[in-house]
Structure 1
Amino acid sequence: MLSPELIHPALWRATQLARSARRGIPTGYAALSAQLPDGGWPAGALIELLMPHAGIGEIRLLQPALAQLDSRHPIALVQPPHVPHLACWQGWRLNPGQLLWVAPERPLDALWATEQILKHGSCGALLCWLPHVRPESLRRLHLAAQMADTLCFVLRPATVAQQASPAPLRLALSPASGGLSVHILKRRGPACTQPLFLDFEPARTRETVSPDHAPLDRRLPALSATRRRTPALVS
C-alpha cells in the first residue's frame, strides 16, 4: 500500500504527523519541534499563538527561530500591544535593525498591512497581534500566508481557543515557572493531549535562585529610537 505522501504531499494518515517537501524552521526546543509537522515552524502558513495576555514569554518562544532568519530580511511587528524594547531584542541576540514596527490607527488597517506584507514576501517573519478579528479575515490571511515563504504568527487572546480557525497550527500558551506551557490545539496530525513545558532558564541559573523566591522578569526601558511614529513602519 502506498503511503499517503507518495500519492499527494498534502495527504497524511490520522495517526501520523503531516510531512511535506519543505522542512520546518527549527523552534529551538527539541520537545516542541518533535510534535510539529515537518519538525518545526511551517513557513508559508498561518500560525496562531493564543495567550491570556501579552508578555508571558511569546517572544522568548520565537527567539530561536527568528535568530535563524536571514538578517537581510525584516521582521515585521504589526500592532504589538507594547513598544518594542530594543535592549531586549539585543539581549536575545536579535538584530533590532531588522524590525519593522507597524502601528496602524484602526484594526482594519492592521489586517490590510498584514496581508500586504505577506503578498510582498520580503519579510523573513511577521508577528501580528489581533485581539479582535472576523473568521473571514483570518481566511484571507491564511490564503495570503500560503503565497509566501514568510514565517507568519498571529497572536490572539486565549478566549478564542474554542472558535474555529483556518490556521493549520494553533498553540495555546500559558506562563509557567521558569518557562512556558504550550498546548498544541491544532496541527496536521493526531491530537496532542498533553501540554509541553519549555524551559527558558539554564540549569545553572536555576541552581543560583533561592527556592523561596520566584524569578522576576523586569521590563527594560524602551530606547528613545523606538518612539511610536506615524505612518506605521519604523525600522
Structure 2
Amino acid sequence: MSREDRLRKLLKNPHIWRPGESSATGRNNVPSGFSVLDQQLGGGWPIGVLTEILLSNSGIGELGLLMPALIHMSKNDSAYDSRSYTAVQDTWGSSRSDRLLWIAPPYIPYAPALTQHGLDVSRVLIVHSAKQLDALWAMEQALNSPVCRVVLGWFADIDDRSMRRLQLAAESGACWTVIFRHARFADITSPAPLRIHIKPGRKPEAGDLDLNILRNRYGPVGELSLQC
C-alpha cells in the first residue's frame, strides 16, 4: 500500500476530525434553548464529549447560558436518549441516570432562584472540595458512572493530562459534560471538541452574553451574541 493510500485510509477513520468538518451526524445532543446556538452546534450541546467554557470571572451569565438545557435535562426523561445502561441503584435511591452533578462551583447555588427558573433542584447534587485533585477525581468517577446525565465542573487550573482524562471519561459515558476554565487558557491547546469563550455582552444587566466559539467539531466557529 502506497503512502497516499495509507493517508486516505487514515483520513476515513471516524475518530479523526479535521477543522471545518462537521461531525454532528449520528450523535446525541441536548437543545441549548437558543436557536442560533443550536445551528452553530449542529443541534445543541453535545453529549458524550467535553465542552469547555472559558471566562475571566464567574457570575457573568454562564449559568444563564446553560439554564434552558439544564431545565430540559432535569425534567424531561423521555428527551434523554443516552446509550443503553443497565439500571443501577445509586446511593441516593435512584435507578435512573437522572442526576445533575455540580462539582466545585465558585458560589453556593441559591435553590429558590433555581426553582423559580424551573430547574428541578431535587436532581441536583453539589460536590465541594478544598483540593482540586479530589474534585477532578470526583468528576472522573461521575463521568464513568451511569447515574449522572449532567456533570458540571469548575476548575481554577487544570493540566493537559487531567483534561485528557476527563475527555476520555466523557466519551466512555453519556453525560452532558461541561468544564468551566479561566479565559487565560483560551490560547492553549485543549482536547475538548467544543470550546467557547464567553464575555459580558452590551447590556450585561439584561443578560446579554457574547460568545466566541474557538473550536467546534460540530459546525462553524466564530462569534455570536445571546440574551440569556
Same fold (TM over 0.5): yes
The structural deviation recorded for 1:197 is 0.6
Q: Is the 8 A contact 1:18 1:189 kept in 2?
A: yes
> How high is the TM-score relative to the length of structure 2?
0.79
The Cα offsets for residues 108-158 of structure 1, whole Å up to 9 and x where unpaired, read as: 000000000001131110110011111000000000000111100000111
Structure 1 equivalent of residue 112 of structure 2:
87
Q: Is the 8 A contact 2:74 2:120 kept in 1?
A: no
The Cα offsets for residues 74-108 of structure 1, whole Å up to 9 and x where unpaired, read as: 11110000111102211210011111110012110
2:30 to 25, 33, 37: 25
Supply the distance in 1 between the matched residues of 2:52 and 2:63 (Cα, whole angstroms): 14
Between 1:95-104 and 1:15-24, the stretch displaced more is: 15-24
Supply the distance in 1 between the matched residues of 2:220 and 2:73 (Cα, whole angstroms): 29
Give the letter for the 1:35 counterpart: Q
Supply the distance in 2 between the matched residues of 1:97 and 1:164 (Cα, whole angstroms): 37
Supply the distance in 1 between the matched residues of 2:163 and 2:216 (Cα, whole angstroms): 17
Alignment pair present for 1:48 and 2:77: no
> How high is the TM-score relative to the length of structure 1?
0.76
RMSD: 2.0
Aligned length: 193
Structure 1 equivalent of residue 103 of structure 2:
78
Structure 1 equivalent of residue 64 of structure 2:
60
Supply the distance in 2 between the matched residues of 1:106 and 1:95 (Cα, whole angstroms): 28
Structure 1 equivalent of residue 224 of structure 2:
196
Say which SS state the counterpart of residue 89 (structure 1) adopts: helix
Q: Is the 8 A contact 1:14 1:190 kept in 2?
A: no
The structural deviation recorded for 1:190 is 6.4
Alignment pair present for 1:103 and 2:128: yes
Give the letter for the 1:26 counterpart: P
Structure 2 equivalent of residue 112 of structure 1:
137
Supply the distance in 2 between the matched residues of 1:130 and 1:108 (Cα, whole angstroms): 10
Supply the distance in 2 between the matched residues of 1:68 and 1:10 (Cα, whole angstroms): 29
1:144-159 maps to which residues of 2 (within 5 A)? 144-159=169-184
Q: Is the 8 A contact 1:67 1:94 kept in 2?
A: yes
Q: 1:8 to 1:70 in 2, by over 3 A?
A: farther
Alignment pair present for 1:132 and 2:157: yes
